């Protein structure tokens, strides 16, 4: 069975594919499926709302089952920021380097015990018949004082879980503990009810 993922982020597509493969689901980007998707304005105030906006739009435009993820980083010291604005925290959408710089600057003199944070992922699945469901996964950690590791994407090099950042973990290690991995395991449990 083919599912469309409403993202141009090939790393997200690969992550989703690894986790859904045991269900014999092939995850396709719009380019792979030969469809053109409108870039959806993420006007939601929660990860769940934004995930639904993207999945619903992708489903309606393609006629395929569509999955979308909205995820981000919530830092306790910053009252949950950057939150739903994680990808555009520094003003330019998707500039990981600038986002990390701004985050580290905002936490410059903050001691380790006050640098707690969580990654959140909401994954929504919309079906052509109008049904949909959304699951949420979280992973708690601490913001490092500097970047470590070249793996992952986004804030991964500064998000510490135990003694390693997400940027230092390989794909399998990250999938086991990450917010998206946690959300997708719930997704895999929920999905059979809709098939």
70 is catalytic: yes
Dihedral, CA of residue 160, residue 163, residue 166 and residue 172, to nearest 10 = -140
DSSP 149-175: -S-SSTTGGGEEETTEEGGGS-HHHHH
Q: Kindly name the residue from 2, 56, 69, 70 that is annotated as catalytic.
A: 70
Quick count: other Cβ atoms within 10 Å of Cβ 67?
A: 28
Alpha-carbon gap, residue 189 to 184, rounded angstroms: 9
Which residues form the catalytic set? 70
């Amino acid at each position: 069975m083919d599912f469309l993922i409403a993202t141009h982020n090939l790393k997200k597509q690969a992550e989703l594919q690894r986790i859904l493969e045991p269900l014999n689901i092939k995850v396709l980007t719009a380019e792979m499926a030969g469809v053109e998707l409108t870039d959806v304005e993420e006007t939601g105030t929660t990860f769940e709302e934004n995930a639904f906006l993207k999945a619903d739009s992708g489903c309606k435009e393609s006629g395929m089952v569509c999955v979308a993820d909205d995820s981000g980083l919530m830092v306790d010291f910053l009252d949950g920021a950057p939150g739903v604005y994680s990808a555009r925290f520094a003003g330019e959408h998707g500039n990981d380097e600038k986002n990390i710089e701004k985050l580290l600057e905002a936490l410059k003199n903050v001691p380790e015990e006050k640098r707690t944070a969580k990654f959140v992922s909401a994954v929504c699945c919309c079906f052509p018949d109008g049904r949909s469901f959304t699951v949420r996964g979280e992973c708690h950690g601490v913001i490092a004082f500097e970047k470590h590791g070249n793996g992952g994407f986004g804030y991964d090099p500064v998000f510490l879980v135990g003694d390693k950042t997400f940027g230092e973990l390989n794909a399998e290690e990250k999938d086991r503990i990450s917010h998206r991995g946690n959300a997708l395991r719930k997704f895999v449990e929920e999905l059979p009810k809709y098939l």
